Amino acid sequence: MNICVIGTGYVGLVTGAVFAELGNDVICVDSAAEKIDLLNKNKIPFFEPGLEEMVVRNRNEERLSFTTDIARGVRASEIIFICVNTPTLDNGETDLAYIKSAARDIALALNGDKTIVNKSTVPVGTGDLVLETINEHKNEGFNVDVVSNPEFLREGSAIRDALSPDRIIIGASTKKVAFRLMELYATLEAPILITNLYTAEIIKYASNAFLATKISFINSIANLCEQTGADVEDVARGMGYDKRIGRDFLNAGLGFGGSCFPKDVKSLLSTSAGFGYRFDILKHVMETNNGRAAHFLELIKTRFPDLNGKTVAVLGLSFKPDTDDMREAKSIEIIKALLEESVIIQAYDPVAMQRAREMFPDIRYCRNAYEACDGADAMLLVTEWREFRLLNMEKIKNSMKHPIIFDGRNIYDPERKKRLGFEYYCFGRGKWPKSS
Ligand SMILES: NC(=O)c1ccc[n+]([C@@H]2O[C@H](COP(=O)([O-])OP(=O)(O)OC[C@H]3O[C@@H](n4cnc5c(N)ncnc54)[C@H](O)[C@@H]3O)[C@@H](O)[C@H]2O)c1
């Protein structure tokens, strides 16, 4: 099938590469010329395991190409995927300007009947908006169907998620339109749910908001554990054995960041309010999450009432492991607060340092975790990269000025760290020290 993918960000590029890998002819379009230039040189604008190889292979086999010319992509394709960004406006609403602009450009380029598939995460009713925008700008005589096919891939495992999704959601006005898209997914072994457009749009938000709720829930339990001396890790384990609950997303720590959860929870809150419904649970989910970095800093300040001039190792900068995405990363809030206290920061992240430099040009970036910890008064574990679980802690301890760990993701075993001679702090594993 001939496919056009509009937007070559995390979702669009992975979608384009995977559909090409499945044997389709794919044209990926982006309005950002610098991204297209990079892609045409076989360079990927962001870090995603396995993506570069897949892009290069499919470009070489001429199933995948990149352009800024949306009209070319639209004219050559039967199915057009919209994968543009949908950021949050200051008032919490979703900014649909990129969606509208893509819809208008599609309409102006139409040369036949097309199926327009929205993969971007958009508030309920956006499918109608896309169709209205296209109808407003298109020439008479061409028929357009709009389908919602929300994307659930996770950065860091995007290729695997796209090739083996837990489910495929197709929201369409008729079964006939839905079946057209189903054909494209026929080779993937995944349950397919066909529903209407509004339902498909809500499924995406409901899923992300529910996962975010799990995270804020366990973080609230961690707060209680800190008051009582209980251990949140055992609580999560004890809860997780219950199949109705499951262990995933019950990890106490600094909370969620990234380009999806905060944005999607805010958007669902705002959409609900627009329909006159107060989605109060989600307000608390956001409040709890927004308080996590401050809670971590409070712990650090209990141990170091005067941080001025202290040297701190910050391990992990991206919003989660296996990505260089820094959007709404917890490291940003933490580094900003530490800089205000005149802390000297020695940071290390396996892939996100280039992006971090754009935000914090003046902190010291290190070649590895050992260099970051060298001479430090404390180590702050901010992103749970696998390599941080495997560090030679004896070496770290000997190089630090004070062997103190603040574990923002609860990845270490407190008893082992204490046996090794570290002062160790984390979330919800026993009572917190009282400030002096
Ligand atoms: N990143 C994720 O993990 C993820 C997962 C599932 C769903 N989503 C959703 O998918 C959508 C895209 O997310 P992303 O992370 O890939 O965004 P992104 O910001 O990485 O990429 C979006 C791309 O679209 C391009 N673009 C914007 N308007 C355009 C237009 N009119 N014509 C051509 N190109 C245009 C931008 O230049 C950019 O390269 C969002 O709605 C997001 O919520 C993201």
Give the CATH number for residue 248.
3.40.50.720
Per cent of the chain over pLDDT 70 is: 100
- C-beta 12 within 6 A of ligand 1: yes
Two tokens, residue 199: 């339902």
Q: Which of 28, 260, 366, 373 is catalytic?
A: 260
- 158 within 8 A of 51, measured Cβ to Cβ: yes
Q: Is residue 219 part of a domain?
A: no
Ligand 1, atom 10: nearest CA belongs to which residue?
A: 120
Tally of domains in the chain: 2
Q: Is residue 212 part of a domain?
A: no
Q: Is residue 208 part of a domain?
A: no
Q: Is residue 336 part of a domain?
A: yes
340 burial level (CB within 10 Å; 0-12, 13-18, 19+): exposed
**Rounded Cα gap, residues 435 and 209, in angstroms:** 35
Q: Is residue 343 part of a domain?
A: yes
Cβ partners under 8 Å of residue 176, min gap 6: none
Q: Residue 346: which of 310, 379, 370, 312 has the closest Cα?
A: 312
Q: Is residue 221 part of a domain?
A: no
Q: Is residue 329 part of a domain?
A: yes
Kindly report the average pLDDT of the chain as a whole number: 97
> Tokens 């919800």 map to which residue?
428
Ligand 1, atom 19: nearest CA belongs to which residue?
A: 85
Atom of ligand 1 nearest to the CA of 7: 24
Ligand 1, atom 31: nearest CA belongs to which residue?
A: 102
187 and 232 in a single domain? The answer is no
pLDDT in tens, 81-129: 999 999 999 998 999 999 999 999 999 999 999 999 999 999 999 999 9
- C-beta 289 within 6 A of ligand 1: no
Residue 436 has pLDDT above 60, yes or no: no
7 and 150 in a single domain? The answer is yes
Q: Is residue 101 part of a domain?
A: yes
Q: At what angle do helices 197-228 and 261-274 cross, to 10 degrees?
A: 120
pLDDT band at residue 431, thresholds of 50, 70 and 90? confident
28 is catalytic: no
- Measure 144 CA to ligand 1 centroid, in angstroms: 22
**Which domain covers residue 72, as residue numbers?**
2-195
172 and 232 in a single domain? The answer is no
184 and 257 in a single domain? The answer is no
Cβ partners under 8 Å of residue 433, min gap 6: 302, 303, 425
165 and 102 in a single domain? The answer is yes
- Measure 192 CA to ligand 1 centroid, in angstroms: 23
- C-beta 11 within 6 A of ligand 1: yes
- C-beta 288 within 6 A of ligand 1: no
133 and 236 in a single domain? The answer is no
Q: 3-state SS of the chain: helix, strand, coil percent to 5?
A: 45, 15, 40
